[in-house]
Amino acid sequence: MSIALITGGNKGIGRATAARLIELGHTVYIGARDPERGEAAAKELGAEYLPLDVTDDASVTAAAAELTDRAGHLDILVNNAGVTGAPATLDTLSADDMRAAYEVNVFGIVRVTQAFLPLLRGSQHPVIVNVSSLLGSFGSITNPYGQQYALFAPIYGSAKAAVNMLTVQYAKELPGMRVNSVEPGYTATDLTGGHGVQTPEEAGANVARWATIGPDGPTGIFAYKETIAPW
């Protein structure tokens, strides 16, 4: 049976991705730091709850050990947990605010990926999806005709650019796995203050599409819907 783990899976795009993967027949573990919210979401979706705080080494290590005991392997890892970071202008931008966002968006991916690699290596066709953003795309942010061009998002954008580089580095070192960044699309969630051009369900379908690619699928790419986005 295919096992999937989604970090930050109790709400928003993570929850919608979990729902879609369950529809497709996968056993899904929702990683969430809040037990009450995580357990409630898992119960509602028909998923399993896994206590997991991506900013805490001990929590991530314990989660990997628990999943080892419960499932013995992992086929799909969706690094979805993320924050936008503190609102910043050129005058208010600070290293402390950057560090807080990177702790979740960047260092969290490294913690989780490193801890769960042994379980992924136990899969016949392992897949890692790093949820990213076109705000972290140099090609998009420098395109004067694109929607991202006018936005000042140094914290979130630079964190997602780092995520994209992590994707490439992991893909090169793990040729037996499919490792890709995915832009789920501008989605109306708590993260965006309810603004967006699509529903969480549509975004979740986008992420799930790339989480379920076969062993002959692409690796080391930045995907947007059914296309490849510029780095």
Asked: is 3-228 a CATH 3.50.50.60 domain? The reply is no
Give yes or no: 29 in active site: no
- pTM, two decimal places: 0.94
User: Which residue of the set 160, 170, 186, 224 is catalytic?
Assistant: 160
User: Which residue of the set 29, 49, 156, 170 is catalytic?
Assistant: 156
pLDDT in tens, the chain (231 residues): 899 999 999 999 999 999 999 999 999 999 999 999 999 999 999 999 999 999 999 999 999 999 999 999 999 999 999 999 998 899 999 999 999 999 999 999 999 999 999 999 999 999 999 999 999 999 999 999 988 899 999 999 999 999 999 999 999 999 999 999 999 876 646 565 655 556 878 889 999 999 999 999 999 999 998 889 999
Name the nearest CA neighbour of 48 among 65, 64, 32: 32
| 220 conformational bin, left if phi > 0, alpha if psi -120 to 50, beta if neither | left
182 strand-pairing partners: 131, 223
Q: In whole angstroms, give the CA distance from residue 216 to residue 85.
A: 36
- What is the number of residues in the chain? 231
* 3-state SS record for 158-169: HHHHHHHHHHHH
Q: Where are the domains of the chain?
A: 3-228
In single-letter form, the type of residue at position 63 comes to: A
What are the strands, taking DSSP E only, across the chain? 3-7, 27-32, 48-51, 76-79, 127-131, 178-183, 222-224, 227-228
Give yes or no: 170 in active site: no
